[in-house]
Structure 1
Amino acid sequence: MFEVGKIYNRRTDIHGVYKGQQYGGIATPANHPYVFIFTSEAGEEYGYSDGFSPDGTFRYTGEGQEGDMIMSKGNLAIRDHQKNNKEILLFEAASQGMVRFVGNCNFIIHHTEERPDKNSEQRAAFIFHLDIVPQTKGNGVESPKAPYLIKPTKSKSLKQLREIALSNTPTKAKAKEKLIHVKYRSDAIKLYAKKRANGLCEGCDTKSAFETKSGPYLEVHHLTRLSDGGADSPENVIALCPTCHRRAHYALDGVSFNNELRRIAKAIEAKLA
């Protein structure tokens, strides 16, 4: 339906087809099994600070512009989406009226913290911890119990790391287990990218400049990301030397270079498939 990394017109491509609230951060179309959520840096001045956390989850601020947030409407739709057989689809603002699809999400838990409302008054805000489901050419493996909690380590094979990175979190697992799995999956994709590179920069094909205690020094770069930090999948990561990594972020030809890196990553993964 939606392709990760692709840009869509919110009004025509989303609301024109599926309906739902055209304004605000959460849209809940009545006749479709989806909950659309939208994030933008523009909301930070009103306490809506979203993004990926170190544990690999995406932290999404609930709706409600004034006073304490209430667990109703869009907030309730996020919390109860699995019970209601709804999919959460996350989009980030790209330009005026345009949004980029980040991926399908599953709610894990939420917490409440003090955030300013639109009047700069402190209030209780809901922060939802979301698991962005890996996007792959095949279906991820969903194990019913402990096997999906395998801790990724350098000693794991490339195949084992890939399986951990692509495994789906069982929807019936406890919240604590889900959080552990998301963290393991995030760690696995970074180890996977470095092991796949085998000491060579996948951007310029040169040997790592130096060794560290954990092996050749390479940096993992995400090719399609939210504010330069996004959903993990083998086709979306590449191991780079520091020079290529900074070129991808800051060079005048950064856009074209990232497009070339996407081509390289896809070609590498095609050989491994």
Structure 2
Amino acid sequence: MDAVMSEPCAEMGAGLSTRKVLMSALEAELMGLVGALTPANRIEGRALHRPFLLLWAIGKAVQGEIREHRWSTVRDTVGPLMTTYLDVPPGADQVLYPFWHLKTSDLWELADADGLTLTSNGRRPTLSALNASDPAAGLPQGAYALLSTEPEIAARVASHVVSTFFNPPPAGLLEDLGLADLLAERMGDALRPQVGESFPNRNAISDVYGGNRVMGITPLRDRTLSVYSDDEGPYQDAPINEIGWIGYTGDGLTGHQRMVSGNRSMEAYQEQQRALRYWHKPDGGQWSFESWVVIVQVRQRWGVGTDGAARREFVWVLAPVPSPLRDTWPVEVLEALAEDDGTVHDDTEGIPAGGDASNASSSRERYRRLTAAARRTADRRTRRSRLVEVERYYRSVTAREAVMLRSQDKCENRDCPGHPEERTDAGAAILEVDHVNPLARGGADTPESMIALCPNCHALKTRGRNRKRLQTALLKTARLRHEEFMSAAG
């Protein structure tokens, strides 16, 4: 452990500003160590022995009890609690593991460790050696002083441990560990940063909360994952229509995205159903910690890399939640998590990447394949749920792409008074794909029911005085254009 955390905090009263700076540095180091704590992976799942012992020690510090505890005390006190809350077999061996190995995290000090007789493989002391010498162990002096004198910091540290490893906390856990009064109804509020905090740039976030200053998927100092979405950036992050969830593009600027690096971290959070932080920067605005989110699904779609080449990319479907605590999550989010099987839903199936728009044959063959993919999805929709709506949205992208291909960058209203020649920043035509017969009235997510319109014709179709007549004409046009493309595709 670093010297700043190991030394007593006796000089904190030197001055308010000096004390505040020192407290902030101590908390930052402590939170970094706590965030780095990784439970052992076993066949039956994650072994939470070390986080449990740490949480017990935090509770003792908060209650003002002594810093160091004899092995016999830990064995006889923590052992039964671990059996109750971790569902592990009773016995001193279950306590021996964290009592010895927690010291590797610099969050635990064990006196006279060098004099203990070790097992044959040298990985831990023998139980008889511990029982005979009964050594004392506990939090480092600096950490203990901080947690025992600063309840707000203690609440933040304890909240992080609980939300990371014991979420939701089993009934009675906080009471038995002496943390119920400290964390009563404020675990989510105790965590930092708080939702709504904003910063002018990524450097400013890192200066306060640590973490990488550039990467889009990366943890802060406390090792809780954050994802960053910049409206001016190269990725196609976007809210999902009418759902309020977010489609977040995976990690990797060029080439097919792979399940490595940031994407691998996202996969782990999806598997653990763990909340992460979502940061957003609107066009011309500041970075804001907008919401906690959980990953309810991952999809794969065709996109374009920064090199202009078509590539497969991941889309992580993020559902906002009030806090990282599971018992605060909305029912629809819990239902989506129960429905998610963790597989990648492939929206590129049977659809070639890109295509030569100047080649009529390849363009119309691509249209046929896009239409077939859209119909496959429409045929599978036999029930309604949030994830079905997510699928509908992303598979509708397939149908919309087909319609845009069919439009050849021109408004498909045959009576269009004038289509703007101006292009978007991405070089795309200014067109909006619309369901001629709205989805709410039974319209289908297939190209023959959809049409590409310029903004003016779209407004006339939606709000114009003669919209009924125009809608009838547009539906006929969409079907004729569809039949023309399908028949030319063979």
TM-score normalized by the length of structure 2:
0.28
Larger RCO, structures 1/2 (Cα 8 Å, 6+ apart): 1
Rg larger in 1 or in 2?
2
Q: Give the number of the structure whose residues are more often strand, by fraction.
A: 1
Q: Give the number of the structure whose residues are more often helix, by fraction.
A: 2
